Chain A
Amino acid sequence: MSHFIDRRLNPKDKNLGNRRRFIKRVREQVKEAVNKSIRTRGIRDMDRSGEVTVPTDGINEPQFHHDPRGGRHERILPGNKQFRAGDRIEKPPGGAGGSGRKGSDNGEGEDDFTFVLSRDEFLDIFFEDLELPDLVKQTLKEIETAKPRRAGLSVTGAPANLNVGRTMRNAYGRRLALRRPTDATVRELRKRIFELEEIHAPTAKQRKELKETREELDELLRRQKVVPYIDPLDVRYNYFVPRPEPNAKAVMFCLMDVSASMGEREKDLAKRFFVLLHLFLTRRYDRVELVFIRHTHRASEVDEETFFYARETGGTVVSSALEQMKKIVEARYSPREWNIYAAQASDGDNSPGDSSRCMQLLNDHLMPVCQYFAYVEIIAEEETRFLKHDGNGTELWLAYREVAQAWPNFKTKRIANPAGIYPVFRELFARGGEEAQHG
């Protein structure tokens, strides 16, 4: 009977094309929502799917239709309780017209339109402002890189994976167990037969021996044939399973100046900067710990919430943060076990004379243990014009520039908008790409 067709295994997601077109359509609103969630989400949660609400403006589907409030409408309703013909009922104020209010065509009324962006869609939009090269985007979006690992042996496999040693060992054991005559034994018998045959006039005893030896040789040859040298049973192949990348740990230090001069915009940029580094680190390490150090004239380790949202007043002593980081590294993160990364964001202010102290701390203590130290100075849009040259700037900037010259894994950058963030990490990503190629 051909009435029934099982379609359950047909490809799903027939609507993916439509969904893509829809998201393109509400791109602006989605972007705004994503930007908003950068502010509200924790750094760790950045690469998750997320709910997005867009106003219905751009996605209305207008049609000519009657206005339910104008003119004269006649309506039929079910479930009459006490009305009689001729009853007059006062309309509720606001003109909602107490009767059979019809939902709008799309069934959602005037409400905003909410839907969930997948992780990939979310990251795509997050990356948009950062102007990342495609290859980098790809690396960041890959969920896990897996390498094949040896995982014992198997009886099936490709010839290239043949484990010769194990196969031969199995064969040897089997040959011993089944008492397969060795070639040496056969050779010896042959030699003996040859010797006996050489004798011109053999005695009866010798003749008997020759006959027996021949029979023995035949028997051995038969055995050799029956018990093969290598049997398919003996063959073993190396077995590989895909395993995630090595179980390495990294710690990421987020350092930020939280004195009053850091406003919403500055913190927002700083957060994107931290997020990007974190995203990158989670790609490369199984476990990434975050340490947040904020500082004014003194530094303290805080949780993420406090880091971004609490306010504190005071002067600005950058070296206090570096000092704090040094202490934490010594106490908890031995460089032998941990890969240490640091990201520092500031508006460039520092109290006079402190910058040389920073330099000294970095050169003597921190840079030798850090894999990478990235510093961004967040400046106002207008400042970009007269701070074109890296050669001028605040005392802190100049000090850090010197450090950068001494240490190739120290990067500094002034940024005024999200697009400036990526260059700070450029080398980090380039290196990641290289390693991936070698791997």
Chain B
Amino acid sequence: MADSKLIFEGTDWTFEKLDRAYEAIEQVATKELRLDCFPNQIEIISAEQMLDAYSSVGMPLMYRHWSFGKHFIQHERMYRKGARGLAFEIVINSNPCVSYCLEENTMALQALVMAHAAFGHNHFFKNNHLFRQWTDPDGILDYLDYARGFIARCEERHGERQVERTLDSAHALMSAGVFRHRRPPDLSASEEKRRAIERFKAQEEAVDYLLDTFERPQTAAPVPDAASERRRRMHLPEENLLFFLEHHSPILEPWQREILGIVRNVAQYFYPQKQTQIMNEGCATFTHFYIMHRLHEDGRIDDGAMFEILHNHANVLTQPDFDDPRYSGINPYTLGFGMMRDIKRICTEPEDEDRAWFPEIAGCGDWLGVLTEAWANYRDESFIQQFLSPRLMRELKLFALTDDAADRYVTVDAIHDEQGYERVRDALARSRDVSINEPDIQLVDADLMGDRVLRIRHFRRDGIPLEDADRTATLAHVRRLWGYDVVLE
């Protein structure tokens, strides 16, 4: 019987069908695409549980805070109104790699989602250098478990209100609470606990010491280069506000410092995801596209299922034009998938233009090698810089605009033509650079022996100011954590 090759038929899924599909997908993923993945753990959840997972930033466990409740209500409302569907899956960068699949998915969708998340994203998490360097997939779930327990204990001991205030302030500084250039300290749970205890002791001692010297001003007699010496000892300037406050704030209790540390670690954990959104989605989309096509060609998926898969694939890849009411920025799926498919084309059937632009890879034939290397060693900004082809720019009809507040006009700098390719590519790469997108804010000085004013400096790029209302509100949070005056220059 010809049908015997089919992995599944019909729309309803069962665990046996899922198993068969998983094996078939794994076959293609590891043998043909040579993907290297964490072991998979695929969990089937209901819509409500999916909403739950949404609101705790996609993590299976999280400490309690009102803002997650707020996000839950938002998502739920959108979902109930039908304004937004649920994601088909959520995948977590952990070892084993946990992916959540929605129970309402049809069998075809489950297969698509497995290929996408359990292999595409999984491979990216395991191999991309940013994730390898900056996250700890072995320890993250343990750590979150510890964090949740710790914050619950703090609520018991110090009251929900106190903990909430500390968390509010810490969350406000979350985006300014990551190390962008230094490697963050490791965070396995037991290690963290041990360090926490040490830190409590050390902090208590340090604060005592500070107060002692404060009462005996003669020991703190100002020497000429006291300021620079002080800055050196506190490792100033410092870009990680949370880290600095955690270690040097004169007023925080030890448990508050620990909460700051938790928020900082969570922020750091998500930092690579911010920088690789296009690549990550591109990798996953390319993977599912390749695997599903292969299974269809081999007669293991029937036409009906393939139609459904392609339909969903196309939905995800929709890129509305800039003047379309649905437009909300460049779709990372479209761009990522488009570039990766283009790399494959350049490697196998290059045109003259491609030979001129990409001499190293054009016609080399080893598209998989090029992609594997790119997945491992690039981030969005460098990936675009390196691989965005003129052909794709033409397809997407990309153009660059300059919007200067001082000017009554916006100017079209470049479009998808011979003169504009490089400019458009560079501008797009820059726009994906997190260190340019996010304000450059650094702590420059804090005179603990003197007026205790904390000095923060915002280094403007292109004259772009901080948004005013949020700037004031966020500064109030810094003040709360620092306990003394804070100046933002």
Residues in A lying within 8 Å of B, measured CB to CB: 1, 3-8, 10, 12-15, 17-25, 59-81, 83-91, 97-100, 102-103, 106-108, 113-116
Contact = CB atoms under 8 A, between A and B. Distances in A.
B297 interface: no
Chain A to chain B: the 5 pairs with minimum beta-carbon distance, closest first:
A79-B321, A71-B464, A22-B69, A18-B69, A62-B473
Contacts of B474: 62-64
A80 B416 contact: yes
A155 to B, nearest CB: 38
Contact of A72 (B48, B49, B419, B462): B462
Nearest to B394: A80
B405 interface: yes
Interface in B303-337: 319-324, 327-330
28 contacts: A1-B22, A4-B42, A8-B44, A8-B103, A14-B52, A15-B51, A18-B67, A18-B68, A19-B73, A21-B64, A22-B66, A62-B477, A63-B175, A71-B460, A72-B404, A72-B463, A76-B424, A76-B431, A78-B396, A78-B397, A79-B323, A80-B322, A80-B398, A80-B415, A83-B399, A87-B412, A88-B409, A106-B70
Nearest to B118: A3
Contacts of B402: 72-75
Contacts of A77: 322, 330, 398-399, 401
A74 B175 contact: no
B441 A74 contact: no
Nearest to B468: A67
B48 A85 contact: no
Given A74-B431, A76-B431, A85 B403 contact: no
Nearest to B425: A76
A88 B402 CA distance: 10
B403 A18 contact: no
A20 B40 CA distance: 34
Contacts of A67: 464-468
B417 A85 contact: yes
A437 to B, nearest CB: 35
A76 B322 CA distance: 9
Q: Looking at chain B, what size class is its interface with the partner chain?
A: 35 or more
A13 B458 CA distance: 42
Interface in B388-446: 396-405, 408-417, 419-420, 424, 427-428, 430-431, 437-439, 441
B9 interface: no
A10 to B, nearest CB: 7
A73 B416 CA distance: 19
Given A65-B439, A66-B464, A3 B42 contact: yes
A63 B431 CA distance: 19
A83 B327 CA distance: 18
A70 B49 contact: no
Nearest to B23: A1
B465 A71 contact: yes
Nearest to A15: B72
Given A12-B49, A24-B66, A64-B471, 14 more contacts: A3-B40, A8-B45, A14-B49, A18-B67, A22-B66, A25-B66, A67-B468, A80-B322, A84-B412, A85-B413, A86-B412, A91-B408, A99-B403, A107-B74
A424 to B, nearest CB: 35
B15 interface: yes
A98 B407 CA distance: 13
A85 to B, nearest CB: 5
B412 A89 contact: yes
Given A3-B22, A60-B473, A103-B328, A75 B403 contact: yes
B19 A3 contact: yes
Contacts of A3: 18-19, 22, 40-42
Contact of A73 (B160, B403, B412, B473): B403
Interface residue SS majority, chain A: loop
Query: Considering residues B15, B173, B322, which has the most beta carbons from chain A within 10 angstroms of its beta carbon?
Result: B322
A79 B420 CA distance: 15
A89 B172 contact: no
Nearest to B474: A62
Given A83-B415, A84-B415, A85-B419, A76 B410 contact: no
A5 B39 CA distance: 14
Query: Considering residues B319, B405, B408, which has the most beta carbons from chain A within 10 angstroms of its beta carbon?
Result: B405
A307 B68 CA distance: 43
Contacts of A10: 45, 49
Contacts of A98: 410
Contacts of B92: none
Interface in B170-208: 171-176
Interface in B29-58: 40-46, 48-49, 51-52, 55-56
B329 A100 contact: yes
A71 B405 contact: yes
Nearest to B424: A76
Nearest to A2: B41
A99 B400 CA distance: 11
A21 B175 contact: no
Contacts of A1: 19, 22
A187 to B, nearest CB: 69
B411 A86 contact: yes
Given A61-B67, A65-B470, A75-B401, A97 B410 contact: yes
A80 B466 CA distance: 30
A19 B56 CA distance: 12
B164 interface: yes
B77 interface: yes
A287 B401 CA distance: 68
A99 B18 CA distance: 45
Query: Considering residues A6, A13, A59, A77, which has the most beta carbons from chain B within 10 angstroms of its beta carbon?
Result: A77
B65 interface: yes
Contacts of B403: 72-75, 91, 97, 99
Nearest to A58: B66
A78 B398 contact: yes
Nearest to A5: B43
Contacts of B70: 22, 59, 106, 113
A13 B414 CA distance: 51
A22 B415 contact: no
Query: Considering residues B52, B174, B438, which has the most beta carbons from chain A within 10 angstroms of its beta carbon?
Result: B52
Contacts of B462: 71-74
Given A61-B171, A70-B464, A115-B73, A78 B438 contact: no
A78 B330 contact: yes
A76 B393 CA distance: 11
Contacts of B458: 64
Given A14-B52, A76-B428, A85 B412 contact: yes
Contacts of A74: 400-403, 413, 427, 430-431, 462
Given A24-B66, A79-B321, A7 B398 contact: no
B174 A63 contact: yes
A382 B43 CA distance: 64
Interface string B274-285: 000000000000
B473 A106 contact: no
Contact of A79 (B49, B324, B419, B428): B324
A7 B49 contact: yes
Interface string B67-90: 111111110010000000000000
Contacts of A22: 66-67, 69-70, 73
B409 A63 contact: no
Contacts of B411: 86-89
Contacts of B396: 78-79
B474 to A, nearest CB: 5
Contacts of B438: 65-66
B55 A15 contact: yes
Given A19-B69, A76-B428, A5 B409 contact: no
A64 B160 CA distance: 26
A80 B397 contact: yes
Contact of A64 (B19, B175, B400, B412): B175
A69 B469 CA distance: 13
A12 B52 contact: yes
B44 to A, nearest CB: 5
